[in-house]
Structure 1
Amino acid sequence: MSSPQVSVIIPTYNRATLVKRAIQSVLNQTFKDFELIIVDDASDDETPEVIDSINDARLEYIRHDLNRHGGAARNTGIKYASGKYIAFLDDDDEWYPTKLERQVERFETVSNEIGLVYCWREVYKNGELVNKASPELFGDIFDETLVWNPIGNTSTFMLPACVLDAVDGFDEHLLRGQDSDLVRRVTREYKVDYIPDYLVKQHWKHKGDQITDVDSDRMYDSIESHLVTLERFDSYFKDNPAPKAELLTVIGRLYAQTGDWSKSLSYLVRGTATKPTSSAVKKELVRSIKEFLKIIR
């Protein structure tokens, strides 16, 4: 039996009420030559029963014994994937029917310098459309990725399997910013292209979600992701101080949001000293001051 052209990977954790919608959007694709790999990251809800209720020979279900988070779940999917191209879908997102078809067509017409093709996305909050994200970055975009991910989440990506192998997949140590980190490592070595069409519905703030104490943990996870970027691309930053300066001041602002003013001031000073004339640095300084004023009022 020949390998499918595309491997679709859906990592999931305790989203029994949502994952079936994501799966159905894959099964409804106009492009049919794919395998669908569901990686259950040790859910303790009804996810196994939901997956078991879906009868499709292209679906493979893999379950972790322990919760290992999104990066590890995606890497497990990559390990079992046999397709030439790999696409990821978050368990709470959806694809429009031509998503795979359009991206495969693009890959078949571009050079092997292209390591990632993304598409535009619609963003829904509690079921209502709140934003349309339509980035138009292509070619060599590494500089633009160093502070933030400017192209979208993993649900918009398709990559050749050989590219994911070359960059060693996702960093499993990162709890947040795994997609941004992957984009940086891919764009350091490859060019990107995009489909100028809305092919993904990204959902967030689902009904029933609650704000909890983990918000502070998420802030520290974001800081950790930025610190990894500083270390990972240290040699590049030595000759390119502007993005380093902005990254340092962003870290300073994030520390300000946690109330750690000692570390916040340290990173803000370092960022300013690295590139004092940077407009991005000045912008982050203003945002940090606003964070401080929020707390003391």
Structure 2
Amino acid sequence: MPKFSIIIPTYEHTELLERALQSVITQNLVDWEVIISDDSISNDVKDYVESLRDERISYLKHNKGVTAAENWNFGMQAAKGDYMILMHHDEAFTVSTQLQCIAQAFETGVQVVVSNIEIEKDGKTSKGRPRWLKKLALRNPSLLLLCNAIGPTACVAFRQERKQPFNSQLSWLVDAEWYYRMLKGATTLFLENISIRSYHGHQGQLSLEMNALEAFKHDQATINKTHSSEPCVRYMTILYGCLIMRTKKIFCKR
């Protein structure tokens, strides 16, 4: 059994996938498997993966669903590793010892390990949210529904027994709601010196193609219904609507 399962859902982005995959292939001193969950229409991704001839990399064809999260869940179902990471095709590890460092963190007994984030856009690299905000959110996961202090899902490594599916009815807050469930009641460790690189601004980036206001309204209703017995969740989505979405709406009119 591999130590790590890296799930990479993808759709018609072979070039991005190649960069993500290469960052995994360079990982040393730790056994891993990669599961490519592909809901592309073409066979480009399939052909590329088969050309690698690497038994550690599995290709799964997923019939495209209504939401991207359905593809994410499809890939996670096949994972066999002790620890799991869901890495989108526009993300990558930054050092060859990344999985080794995460494995050492798990040896302390924690259930979830959170890495830092580097954002690359237009050739420039920036950091994510400040350290204090990340640590506050890890202690109070409901805050992630107001502000995603973590970043993309590749920043979160978790034990197999901690695995939970994404809510495929969500789109705008799908990461944040998953983080809330994943981190609630979990023992966690934040690795400030280990980062995931996330590439922004490319064609096909999901967040750029959505109508944020409409997606949020739908997600807010779904989350409040799912977590109806948890007042803190409702408060956070109300605040998000008032503070974040109202600001977006103002700027969209300009």
Q: Is the 8 A contact 1:119 1:200 kept in 2?
A: yes
RMSD: 2.9
* Residues 1:236 and 2:230 are matched in the alignment: yes
Report what 2:184 is aligned to: 188
* Residues 1:98 and 2:62 are matched in the alignment: no
Report what 1:34 is aligned to: 32
The total of aligned residue pairs comes to: 250
TM score, norm. by length of structure 1: 0.74
Report what 2:118 is aligned to: 122
Give the share of equivalent positions with the same residue, in percent.
Answer: 22
* Residues 1:51 and 2:52 are matched in the alignment: no
Q: Is the 8 A contact 1:4 1:35 kept in 2?
A: yes
Report what 1:152 is aligned to: 151
Q: What residue ranges of structure 2 are gaps of 5+ in the alignment?
A: none
Q: Is the 8 A contact 1:85 1:160 kept in 2?
A: yes
Q: Take 2:128 and 2:244, find their aligned partners in 1: how far apart are those partners? A: 26
Q: Name which of 83, 86, 94 aligns with 1:85.
A: 83
- In the TM superposition, what are the counterparts of 1:1-297 in structure 2 within 5 Å? 3-44=1-42, 46-96=44-94, 97-110=96-109, 114-133=110-129, 135=131, 136-137=134-135, 140-164=139-163, 168-206=164-202, 214-216=209-211, 218-237=212-231, 240=232, 244-252=234-242, 256=246, 287=247, 291=250, 295=253
TM score, norm. by length of structure 2: 0.85
* Deviation string, structure 1 residues 125-170 (Cα, Å, up to 9, x no partner): 0332133445341763224223232222101110011111xxx411
Query: Which structure would you say has the larger Rg?
Result: 1
Q: Is the 8 A contact 2:113 2:191 kept in 1?
A: yes
SS at match of 1:11: strand
- Which sits farther off after the overlay, 146-155 or 89-98? 146-155
* Deviation string, structure 1 residues 169-213 (Cα, Å, up to 9, x no partner): 11112123222111111222323211111421110102x569999
Q: Is the 8 A contact 2:118 2:127 kept in 1?
A: yes
Q: Is the 8 A contact 1:127 1:203 kept in 2?
A: no
Q: Take 1:255 and 1:18, find their aligned partners in 2: how far apart are those partners? A: 30
Q: Is the 8 A contact 1:29 1:98 kept in 2?
A: yes
Q: 1:108 to 1:66 in 2, by over 3 A?
A: same
Q: Take 2:174 and 2:98, find their aligned partners in 1: how far apart are those partners? A: 22
